[in-house]
Amino acid sequence: MASHLHQNIDKNKLSQSVIINPPPHILIVIARFYHDIADELLLGASEYLKTIKATHDLLEVPGAFEIPSAINMAFMGRKQYPSQPQIGGAIALGCVIRGETSHYDYVCGESARGLQQLALQFLLPIGNGILTVENKAQAWERARRNRQNKGAEAAHACASMVVIKNKFFSRSK
């Protein structure tokens, strides 16, 4: 019960710390490989976005490795169609669990590198909610909304970066 109360305090603190006017349109890209964990991350991120009145689109990809490419395709595609809501930020959600081979290291490293490259190259606010863990128990501890709620944390990180970008690139200076 104390953990749940602590999490509620954190959620309230997170939602009060970010005010964005007008609220941004956010792209959530979710890796479905561990669909149950991904669903919990998505619920946390979606609930947080509601608290800041942000709208969002959802794209599903097979695994974490595909997330940066999907964000890039969506971001570049939307730039060609100004009548569509422009992407003000992105949230990457997924889970990579260490196995018996080096595949884990490549997926974790390359997905993180791809997200950082997008953020730097296009000044795109990104919240990285890709869990990199040793086992499912660690994943659930981080994903559950009444525990660490990393989905909401990724959404908060994205929103915080939107605020910073708006501060320096706002049209109404």
Looking at domain 2-166, what is its CATH homologous superfamily? Lumazine/riboflavin synthase (3.40.50.960)
pLDDT along the chain (173 residues), means of 10: 35 59 92 96 97 95 96 92 89 94 90 97 96 96 94 96 90 57
Active site residues: 103
Structural contact between residues 32 and 164, judged by C-beta atoms closer than 8 angstroms: no
Torsion on CA atoms 14, 36, 117, 171, rounded to nearest 10: -40
pLDDT digits (tens, 9 = 90+) for 76-113: 998 888 888 889 999 999 999 998 888 888 999 999 99
Kind of pairing between the strands at 55-61 and 25-31: parallel
Q: Which amino acid is at 70?
A: A
Per-residue model confidence (pLDDT) at position 13: 54
Residue (of 127, 129, 27) closest to 78 by Cα position: 27
Please give the order of strands across the beta sheet that includes 25-31. 55-61, 25-31, 89-97, 126-133
Q: Which residues contact 45 (CB under 8 A, 6 or more apart)?
A: 28, 91, 93, 127, 129, 151, 152, 154, 155
Q: Is the pTM above the cut of 0.85?
A: yes
pLDDT digits (tens, 9 = 90+) for 11-23: 555 545 577 778 8
